[in-house]
């Protein structure tokens, strides 16, 4: 994710989504994320989003 604004962005999660690691992206920076499908059963889908490294945009 690339943040091109002058303030940090933070990812929020809804039902079926688990956040791990740092999910904020500093101003004028970029962060890599890993998305894992943790349940693909119809009606109970779930994913985990893990914040990895951050660098310049």
pLDDT tens readout for residues 3-49: 999 999 999 999 999 999 999 999 999 999 999 999 999 999 999 99
- Range of the structural domain that residue 27 is part of: 9-56
Reply yes or no on whether the pLDDT at 1 is more than 80.
Answer: yes
- 2 domain residue, yes or no: no
Reply yes or no on whether the pLDDT at 56 is more than 90.
Answer: no
**DSSP for the chain?**
-B--SSS-EE----TTEEEES--EE-TTEEEEEEEEEEE-STT--EEEEEEEEEEE-
- 4 domain residue, yes or no: no
Q: Is the distance from CB of 21 to CB of 49 less than 8 angstroms?
A: no
Instruction: Give the count of domains, the chain.
Output: 1
For residue 16, the model assigns a pLDDT of 97
Rg over CA atoms, the chain: 13
Q: Is the distance from CB of 1 to CB of 9 less than 8 angstroms?
A: yes
């Amino acid at each position: 994710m690339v943040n091109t604004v002058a303030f940090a962005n933070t990812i929020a999660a809804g039902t079926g989504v688990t956040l791990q690691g740092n999910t904020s992206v500093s101003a004028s920076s970029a962060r890599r994320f890993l998305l894992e499908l943790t349940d693909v059963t119809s009606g109970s889908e779930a994913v985990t989003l893990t914040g990895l490294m951050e660098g310049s945009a």
